[in-house]
Structure 1
């Protein structure tokens, strides 16, 4: 073990991290070769497991620079469980992967604290994970995260593009800032082109860039899944990479299109500032950022008011942002930024 430590890998630090994770989760089973989840299928006619994986992207570089790493743990969970939710599935369990050049226990524990918080918010279980210390792979202070979520749904209740109907109302659920998308562009505009520091406040924002950029991705499971279970939702678009245009298009079947009205909600100030500073086109904005909407939900027009009310009661900010109409799977965005 001394030889391995001289090569840059501290196995005992990994053991201590597992112990810290056991304490955070109150789960002594963590650290086994594989995690086990008791799967009860009694309430499902045709149970289907839905799996998804994602990461946090270069937002991690901002977190490392700011020395605030718990938020990206929440981001990691959110990116995965929101995708599972968009399929109409209830997240069951989550696993994480942390790769780093040198295992800094304090930083790793902070990341795991965020992951544990996110998993709890999603109503799931942290089943296990992997921490890999690779000194020749990552520069000092750098790390990467990947997450893996598994959920369950009844086959007949899965949400697909075929569920979307002509005339459906599109409801947009407010995002918590940028979430975890477009950060290579964000970093290029703010830090490379304009030389901002994390302590600075952009003209339209109320907090400094450290806090503005590291707002964690919102987890929508607890507010939205009960509506899915009740059959009140036709389809869900998780607005991630590709922005509104690409992701809303994913819930459109052949023969239908979507029209979205930008005047229906307020685009966050951080995104307006980025557009001005980076001289971004309308297409750049609509195909990169969520523009303030984390989810777009298609519902029957007769149920739109009820669904909106239930989401608001669950703590969401909800806007009626558009409708589904005949077309060729295109997403038309009306208005100006």
Structure 2
């Protein structure tokens, strides 16, 4: 009797079991525009041209990076999917786009249905938080390429904005104000450095400044800002936005500025989550390196006119969102602190 696909390490039946396990979670993300269900060769989505008569589609893709290593070490797989969603939908949100749908790609060494269902369940939960539909995905079993208990995940999101409501930063001027929205911690960036600094320590260790096990602080999922930001965009008060990912405030804020403009940031304007201070102290990391590697407690930045700060701040508060005035636009290039 010859070899089977299962003998080679690929279990089709286990993959089918995963599909059945995730169906309820996926169903909770569906929007009226979704046509069909799971199992097709492509996800179908009918764009609402009544709401978006002059649509511009905005797309984004990203992964979670070496934060996955912590999920493996802690055997915690229920939140990493939210990270994948957040990294994509927050990026397309920067241009004013409403996230419409999301697809995930999960590559595993061996399909363990319960673990895969937890990962995809986190993806679905993130989609619910972002208001977008999980309309498709792929779980690729790749024996010999990944270890049996390891995987990688990537996400792909598509959103839409009317052309006249695109936010591209072109209206930003000197004197405009930066407003920062808090992060939950490292989100999904800088983990290669963070893991190097914390390598000598147990993930179960409770540092006094954290008040919780180190692993819990490091694995906390990335915030999704969609529900706090989309309601703000109808009045035209927001001139530019930045998602603070790899490169930190130092590299991400200038991406939305017109040529010849920079920003001055007041780092005393918000309280840094203690994980950053601990990381800097134990690793003796230079502060400029910290601000160029990590979000330092600010996960999303808005740029508004000075006269609109009060109104935007009140609207954010009504939505349950904290905000801080963290700096201003100045002549020059880059970021100064």
TM range (shorter): over 0.9
Query: How far has the Cα of 1:45 moved from its partner?
Result: 4.1
- Output the CA distance in 2 between the equivalents of 1:303 and 1:2: 68
1:286 paired with 2:291, answer: yes
What secondary structure, in the 3-state scheme, does the structure 1 residue paired with 2:256 have? coil
Aligned to 2:48: 40
Gap runs ≥5 in structure 2: 31-35
Residue 216 (1) aligns with residue 216 (2): no
Q: Which position in structure 1 is the counterpart of 2:314?
A: 309
Match of 1:98 in 2: 106
Matched, 1:167 2:175: yes
Q: Does the alignment pair 1:135 with 2:143?
A: yes
User: Secondary structure at 1:167's aligned position in 2?
Assistant: coil
User: C-alpha distance in 1, partners of 2:183/2:130?
Assistant: 16
CA contact (8 A) 2:184 2:273 kept: no
Q: Which runs of 5+ in 1 are unaligned?
A: none
Task: Give the drift of 1:182.
Answer: 0.3
Say if 2:213 is the partner of 1:205.
no
Q: How much has 1:257 moved relative to structure 2?
A: 1.1
In the superposition, the TM-score normalised over structure 1's length comes to 0.95
Shift of 1:23: 2.2
Query: Would the aligned equivalents of 2:25 and 2:125 in 1 still touch at CA under 8 Å?
Result: no
* Shift >3 Å, 4+ stretches: none
Equivalent position of 2:33 in the other structure: none
Which of 151, 161, 177 is equivalent to 2:159?
151
Residue 5 of structure 1 is matched in structure 2 by: 6
TM-score norm. by structure 2 comes to 0.95
Aligned length: 329
RMSD over equivalenced CA pairs, Å: 1.3
Equivalent position of 2:241 in the other structure: 236
Give the alignment of 1:246-325 within 5 angstroms. Answer: 246-325=251-330
List per-residue Cα deviations over 1:237-284 (Å, max 9, x = no partner).
100000010001111111211000011011111010100111101221
Task: Give the distance between the partners of 2:127 and 2:62, measured in 1 at CA.
Answer: 14
Q: What's the offset of the Cα at 1:25?
A: 2.2
2-side partners of 1:153 and 1:223: how far apart?
17
Residue aligned with 1:186, SS: helix
